[in-house]
Structure formats: C-alpha cells, structure tokens
Amino acid sequence: MPSDERGAGAAPRSGSRSPAAWLVFTQAVVEFVFGVLSPLRLVLYGLTWRRAELRRVAEALAAPAAAPPPAPVRPSAPRAGRPLTLFLSAGEASGDLHAGHLLQEIRARRASVRAVAFGGERLREAGAEIDRTIAHAAGMGLLHGWLTIPRHIGLAKRFVDLIDRERPDAVVLVDNPGFHLVLATLARRRGVPAIQYVCPQSWAWAPWRWRRMRRDLAAALAIVPFEVPYFEHYGIQVRYVGHPLGDDLTLRSIDRAEVERRRAGGPLVVLMPGSRGAEVRRNLGPMARIADAIRAEVKDARFVLAQRDRRRADQAQALLQEMGNPPALELFCGETDALLAAASLVLAKSGTGTLEVAHYGAPLVVFYRLGRRFDRWISRVLLAVPHFSMLNLLARREAVPEILAVDEADEARAARECIRLLTDPQARESQLSTLKQIRPLFDAPGAAARVAEEVLSIAERRKK
C-alpha cells in the first residue's frame, strides 16, 4: 500500500521500513518541489480558490462560538498502565512552555510515561529527555530558506532515527507547523500517530495545507473556537481545547508595588516590537517614530520598550543607538506583567503578546511593518480573514485598531489611533469593554489538561 494511503495510526509491515536517510531524502525532495511550485500555487489560488476560501472562513467566523469542554480535574494520583513512550517537539519558547505544561498534566494522569523531546528548559523541567534543542527553529519549514536546509534535514533525520529506536506510542507537535507538519508526514510513514497542538493558521494563509493535515494528523487540537467548523469542513479530526495562555497566566504573579510605581506620572505607553530578530528590526524604527508623534500631542507621556529576552533587548539597544538613542524611551528587559498591568496604552506587534495585553486590561493598537508594498499585496492575496489580529478575530469585528504598515502614512495613522485612545475616555472604555467580553476565550486555564486526555487516549488506544 502506498504510504499516502496508510492510516495515521497504522504500523508499516515488518521489513517494509525504508532506511531513515532515504525516507528523509525523499521527503526533502517532495518539500523542495512544492517549494519551487509555491508561486504557481499562489497564482492558482488567487485565480480560482480564494473566493470559496473567503466564504468558508466567513462561515466559520459566523458560527456560534462553542465553549471548550470542562477542564478535567487533575487526579489525586496517576493511574497505572503499561509503560508509554511519547515524543514531543516544541520549536520556540512559547511552544516549549505549552509543552511543559502538557507533559506535567500527562504525568499527573498516567504512571510510567517516558517522554523524549525536541525542546527546551520547560520540557526538561517537566521530565522530558531533551534530544535536541530547537528553540530558534520556529516558523521554519524543512526547506524554509537555503541556510536552514542542512539543519532541518538533520533534525528530520534524527526524528526518524528516534522513531525507529524508541517506537513512541504518539508524537505530539506543539505549534511551529511549518516544520512540524513535515515531522507529521514522517511519523505517519513510520506508522506513529501524530497530534498537532496549536493548529496551523491555514484559515489565514496557505489553506492548501488541509490535505496534509487530513492525511498526516491523528488529531488537530484547536485553541480558538472558529477553527473547529473550518477544519471540520475539510474532514480533519479536530478538537477544541482552549487557549494554552490560560495555563501560563495562572502561574504568574504580579509585583503590585511595581505596578503602582509604574503608574505614577504621565500616561505609560509600552512598545512591543516582537520577540524575533526580524520583527525587532522591522518594527522598532517605526514604533520609535510613532512614539515621537504621540509625545508631540501628549506631552507627559512616558515610553517603555519591552523585551523579555536578553538577546532581543541587546539587539533593540543597538538599533536605538543607531537611531541616536531617542529621548525618554526606556528599554526594559524581563517579565512584562507589571508593565502591562500599569500601561495606559500598548503598541504591539500582532501575536500572543496582544492577548496578554488584553488580559491585563490595557488599551491596545496592533501594528506590523511590512517590508514593501509588494508584501501588502501578497498579504491581501493570502489572507482569507477580515482581520490579522487574533483579538479582532475572536471579537468578530475590529475591537482594536490594526495597521499593516508600508509607509509613513500608515505610521501616522497608528499614531492617531494611539493618541485617540490616550485622550478619549469613551474610546478607551469601548475597547476595554469588548476585550473583557472575549477574555474567557484565551485566558481561562484548562487547555493542557484537555490536551493531556486527548494524547493519552490516542497513545493508549494504540498500545492495546
């Protein structure tokens, strides 16, 4: 039977296993061919499929927002059973955090679970055996950019070697779908069920990935409600588990004295240009100029540039020096919870950070600087959603201003929105009221417990 027709959980016949190097080589060739054909696929999508996809996404967004099932109660002791082996992969810091919470919940429910992982310190602290650290591989497919090809092929080869040696009962892939969907294909071809926790945002771009998801995933675990009707349309086995941010937020604590100290003085504006190097390079300059425009209208405004990671903070400091160290712009490195709780306004790049801002109740403007006008055209062709900010998608309308910027006119519009939220109490209250209504969709705990039950169900079913 051809490998594409074999079920996700079926094991290959003994003796039919191709060598790991050959399996990875053939898959790399397939990925390369599809990569070369991407421009043609994009053109065909824009000419033929895009209109139907826009309608499909609109229907999913209009469907009633289902609540996730009640979070399973953590048992007093893990249940006994045959030993299980799991493989987990997390491609960046947030994925490592979510995977760490997940493994803790799995171990609380099931005795004799061994976990081998591609990941970082959070997975290690949860008891995983870290085989490779891939914390900076986020967003990169197997053949995403020529410089990453050797590393990703090496990781894929190591993955297949681990599958052959450890014979895991399930593979759990957390976020980072570009690379992880390749691992899902390799897992299926080795007869191991693959579970994707945090679905690819196919509803926003590259919708053709549904074929791969339906073929290669035993389960897709969705973190936002409208993904369920969207993926179900394509026949994908999808479950809504809630947003993993809620589990993380329950473990955080805020220094209330620091919050009060930060609130003292004029309005506090927090700039969040992003957590990756390219994002900081792209967004920091425009955000600094927007801060200058705000300062011209709101004389007592104070500005803080926030970064959690020391490497990104050092990068930001170097960029600020190149700009002549804009006055009254403080660079902060560390946990941002107290800053966000004290903020009068946040100007942030789109992403999970915007959900944290909404959790702490700060008004928000979402800003992302595109490289060229061509990028804006491409985004209009690819994006099948009416908004690019997750908050607006959850609210099903523009609850927060969002700007995809290509020039100074877009920066000026972002500055006007910021000034409006700083000076118009009615605009502030209207936004905060809407964000409060949708907060339960992303800051309620329980996602890790729900995912743990799904993973154990699939792994134990295969073990029988």
Q: Assess whether 454 and 382 both reside in one domain.
A: no
Q: What's the average model confidence in pLDDT over 123-128?
A: 95
User: What residue type is assigned to position 462 of the chain?
Assistant: R
Q: Is residue 274 part of a domain?
A: yes
pLDDT, residue 169, reads 97
More confident residue, 428 or 64: 428
Angle formed at CA 140 by CA 238 and CA 123, multiple of 5 degrees: 70
Q: Which residues are within 8 A (CB) of 124 and not within 5 positions of it... i.e. 6 or more apart?
A: 130
Q: Is residue 306 part of a domain?
A: yes
CATH of the domain at 193: 3.40.50.2000
Q: Assess whether 81 and 200 both reside in one domain.
A: yes
Judged by average pLDDT, the poorest of 96-105, 318-327, 340-349, 422-431 is 318-327
Q: Which residue has the tokens 């791969």?
A: 212
> Under DSSP, is residue 243 helix (H, G, I), strand (E, B) or coil?
coil
- At 9, the pLDDT band (50, 70, 90 cuts) reads very low
- At 151, the pLDDT band (50, 70, 90 cuts) reads confident
Question: Which domain covers residue 97, as residue numbers?
Answer: 3-9+21-61+70-242+446-463
pLDDT, residue 126, reads 95
Rounded alpha-carbon distances, angstroms, from residue 453 to 221, 294, 373, 449? 12, 49, 46, 6
- At 5, the pLDDT band (50, 70, 90 cuts) reads very low
Q: Assess whether 100 and 157 both reside in one domain.
A: yes
Separation between Cα atoms, residue 461 and residue 464, nearest integer Å: 6
Q: Is residue 14 part of a domain?
A: no
Q: Which residue has the tokens 């609109």?
A: 58
pLDDT tens digits along 232-246: 999 999 999 999 999
Q: What is the mean pLDDT of the chain?
A: 87
Q: Assess whether 196 and 326 both reside in one domain.
A: no
> Under DSSP, is residue 338 helix (H, G, I), strand (E, B) or coil?
helix
Q: Assess whether 330 and 354 both reside in one domain.
A: yes
Has residue 381 got a pLDDT over 70? no
Q: Is residue 53 part of a domain?
A: yes
CA 236 to chain centre: 20
Q: Assess whether 263 and 197 both reside in one domain.
A: no
Q: Assess whether 103 and 142 both reside in one domain.
A: yes
What is the token pair recorded at 39?
A: 């421009």
Report how many domains make up the chain. Answer: 2
